[in-house]
Amino acid sequence: MTAPLATSTPPLTLHGRIREDLRERIVRGVLRPNDRVPSESELMLQYGVSRITVRQALGDLQHARMIFKVAGKGSFVAAPKPFQDLDRLQGFAEAMNASGHRTFNRLLQLRAEPASAAVARALALPRGTLVTALQRVRYLDDRPVSVDFSWLPLSLGSRLRREDLSNRDIFAMLETELATPLGHAELAIDAVPAPADIAARLDLATGMPVLHIERLTHDRDGRPVDHEHLYCRSDHFQYRLRLHRA
């Protein structure tokens, strides 16, 4: 009987070895956020390699957003991206403020309008029923990270006009001021090219990819209360989800 062939991991290239050595130092905390990474000349001397090899390694780390470059000063360790867990139903400000980040909402629109076919279907209302429509730009640590479109039944949304929408989540206001405990939400996530109006709000070039989230939130009794389309920059912020194998 022939023994199975042993498999082995191919050896790292020279630039791969430098990249992985630096990655390990960052992950272990030897190099901390905003620490300066050894210069190209220092890495050339340490590893006995050419400048192009060092630049390949640093380029890989920059592409992975583990480091960033400052012209004339060198490369520095990037801070971890802020993130929100999707395995909990919580508002953006609720999640970010709990981890020490500042949030702010710029309200672009708050009005009553007839429900489109898609909005009416989501909120289980007849087409053309008046609903409350909101549009906001959400900021994280003074940078725009998402443009949010929200539609709520008029009975709930009209009462939001009396609330401060600049620093609070709709979820929090639904549960406190509007006495509407939340139950669950359904999400669909994809990537889309940013339309011109959304790209301008997010300081992006038109057509750049953004993360698109469609979310329908239900109250504790299962009634749909908040239908949303969120367009998010993926370079300043990320969503995370823990999955369990049954």
pLDDT tens sequence across 67-94: 888 888 899 998 777 777 777 888 888 8
Question: Quick check: 147 and 134 in contact, CB under 8 A?
Answer: no
Question: Quick check: 155 and 131 in contact, CB under 8 A?
Answer: no
Name residue 203's amino acid.
D
Name residue 141's amino acid.
D
Per residue in 158-206, pLDDT (tens digit) is 888 888 888 888 998 999 989 999 999 999 999 999 999 999 999 999 9
CA–CA separation, 59 and 61 (whole Å): 5
- The DSSP output letter for 81 is P
217 DSSP β-pair partners: 185, 226
CA–CA separation, 192 and 199 (whole Å): 11
Q: What's the CATH architecture for 83-240?
A: 3-Layer(aba) Sandwich (3.40)
User: What rounded mean pLDDT belongs to the chain?
Assistant: 88
Cβ-based neighbour number of residue 37 at 10 Å: 22
| CATH 3.40.1410.10-classified regions of the chain | 83-240
231: which 2 tokens? Answer: 């367009």
Cα dist from 19 to 1, 52, 84, whole Å = 42, 13, 28
Q: Which of 144, 159, 134, 157 is nearest to 232 (CA)?
A: 144
135 DSSP β-pair partners: 109, 149
Per residue in 42-65, pLDDT (tens digit) is 999 999 999 999 999 999 888 877
| CATH 1.10.10.10-classified regions of the chain | 14-77
191: which 2 tokens? Answer: 């990537």
Question: Quick check: 205 and 193 in contact, CB under 8 A?
Answer: no
Window from 47-56, 98-107, 132-141, 225-234 with minimum mean pLDDT: 98-107
pLDDT of residue 144: 93
* CATH class entry, domain 14-77: mainly alpha
